[in-house]
Amino acid sequence: MLGNWIKTFVLMAGITALFGAVGAAMGGQGGMLMALLFAGGMNVYAYWFSDKAVLKMYGAQEVTPDNSEYRGYYNMVKELAENAQLPMPKVYVINEQQPNAFATGRNPEHAAVAATVGIMQTLSERELRGVMAHELAHVKHRDTLISTISATMAGAISAIALFGMFFGGGRGSDGERSVSPIVSMLMMFLAPMAAGLIQMAISRSREFEADRMGAEISKDPKSLAGALTKIHNYAHQIPNQTAEMHPETGQMMIINPLSGVSFDSLFSTHPKTEERVARLMAMASQF
C-alpha cells in the first residue's frame, strides 16, 4: 500500500514539474509561477474531487438497493465486496453501449465502481461477476486514487498546453513574442505525451495483479478470462464517445476503450489481452 502512496506522490510531483515546464515555455518566469500555482490547486482538487468529476464526465447514474432494474448488479457488487473484506462501494451504471467498467475513489472508504449498459448486455452473470471482482481488486490495492488523479491531471495538462498554443508567450522589450509559435505547438503535443508516459509507467503491471486478485475474489478466473476476451472484441467495434473525447480516462477501464491504433505499442495503458487471458487460464487450472 505504501508503494501506491509513493507512486501517487511521484505522479503529482512529475505532473507539477510538467506544468512548470509548460508555463515557462509559454510565458517565462511569470508563466511558470502561474502554472505551478495552478498545478497546486489541481493537486488538491484531484485528490478530493477527481472521482466525482470522472463519474460526471461519463454521465454515471448511481444504483441504489431499491433500483429494481439493476438490483442483481448491486447485490453482486455487495457480495463481492464482502468476499474482498471491503466497505460497500457506491455502484454506478453508465449509458454506453461499449462493454467496459472502472473503479474510482481516493480510498476503499470512498470508492465507487461503474459498469456500462453494454457490458451487462454482453456478458453472462458469471463473467460480469469476474469483471466487478477485478474492479474491487483495484479498490483493495488503492489503485483507484492514482488512476483517477492521473486522468484528471493529464486532461488539465492537455488543456493548459492548448491554451498556451493560442495565448502563450510573453513579449520582450522590442515588442516581439518571447516564445516561438512552433515551440508553443510542440508543447501542445509534448506535454500530454509526457503525462501519458507517466500514466503508462504506473498502470500496466497493476492490471495483471487486479486480474489475479479479482479471480481470487470471484473464485472464477475462467469467467474473468472469458469476459476480457469478449470486452476486447466488442471495444474495437463499438466506440465509447466519452473516452474518445477524454482519452486520458482510458487507462481507468478494464479494457482500453479507445478505437485508435496509432502508437498502440507505445501508449497502451493495458497489457495485451491475450497475455492476461493466458495467466487467468493458468490460474483456472489450479482452482
Query: Active-site residue numbers?
Result: 135
Residue found by looking up cell 515557462 in the block: 24
Burial bucket for residue 3 (CB in 10 Å: 0-12, 13-18, 19+): exposed
C-alpha–C-alpha distance, residues 108 and 138, integer Å: 9
118 and 96 in contact (C-beta within 8 Å)? Answer: yes
What is the grid cell recorded at 17? 514539474
Q: What are phi and psi of 67, to 5 degrees?
A: -75, 105
Residue 112: burial class (beta carbons within 10 Å; 0-12, 13-18, 19+): buried
Q: Quick one: how far is CA 269 from the chain centroid?
A: 9
